[in-house]
Amino acid sequence: MGSIDEYRAALARVDLDYDLGETEAIAKFQLPRDVTYREAHSYATKYGILHAIELQSALEEIGNGIRKDVHVLDIGCGPGLSVKVLQEAKFNVKSYCGIDHAPAQIWLARLLNPNNNFTTDLSVIPTIRESALVVMNHICAQGSVSEVDLKNWVCDLNRIIQTGFDLLSIEPMMNTPKQDRFISFFAELGHKSDVLVSARTRGQFRYPKQTKVIRVSGSG
């Protein structure tokens, strides 16, 4: 069974175990902070799986253009559908921590990935001193993500991974200016950023995705 089918089966088990039942489709591609458990599950089933497939497609496209023996930080992890996709793509995930603003998303992510870590607060994550990968899948596209949020994340990442890291950013084509703006903030803190991969990858919605792998150097 592949990673996507594993997650589909796990979501079905959660539905049965917690009697979540059906809810109306979520109109937007992002959930508010106060989303319910039922809405988080519905979102994961309808949209989270599609974002996981987009991650899978992006990883196939970039091939070996990224380090694979890494600690992973997944910003905007939602229901946590990235871990098994990365492992299936031959990543040696030394540790994984997903970050999302909605407690219900974190609740669901922990059920689906009981051996991994999840939090609502990027600032609480301790220093990582080995090779790291930061994943941002369809995050700059969210209307609720402001420039202040992007700058705060850059400051947190500067503290957490002082020796540098690879950034895997997957965004709709229309959001590439915001994607580039996020990357530019690292230069303000003394980091050099090199584009290792920039490719148009398959999207599961009505638009293609722009996938970039950026190697961010340490600030020292």
pLDDT tens string 185-200: 999 988 999 999 999 9
Q: What is the pLDDT of residues 169-182, one digit of tens each?
A: 999 888 788 889 99
Q: Is the pLDDT of residue 27 over 50?
A: no
Q: Where are the alpha helices (DSSP H) in 70-115?
A: 83-88, 103-112
- Rounded distance between C-alpha atoms, residue 123 and residue 48, angstroms: 24
118, 100 in Cβ contact below 8 A?
Answer: yes
Which residues, other chains included, contact 189 with Cβ-Cβ below 8 Å and sequence gap of 6+? 154, 155, 158, 219
Structural tokens at position 202: 């398959």
In the chain, the amino acid numbered 27 is: A
Mean pLDDT along residues 127-150:
92
Q: What is the pLDDT of residue 64?
A: 83
pLDDT over 90, % of the chain = 75
CB 2 within 8 A of CB 72: no
Q: Which two tokens stand for residue 17?
A: 């175990």
Q: Give the residue-averaged pLDDT of 68-76.
A: 97
Structure tokens of 32? Answer: 């508010």
Q: Is a pLDDT exceeding 80 seen at residue 93?
A: yes
Residues 173, 171: Cα–Cα separation, whole Å: 6
Determine if the pTM surpasses 0.85: yes
Instruction: State mean pLDDT over 9-31.
Output: 78
- CATH 3.40.50.150 for domain 3-217, yes or no, is yes
Quick count: other Cβ atoms within 10 Å of Cβ 166?
21
- Cα separation, 65 vs 31, in Å, equals 32
215: how many CB neighbours lie within 10 A of its CB? 18
Provide the pairing of β-strand 164-172 with 209-217.
antiparallel
Q: Which residue has the higher pLDDT, 21 or 41?
A: 41
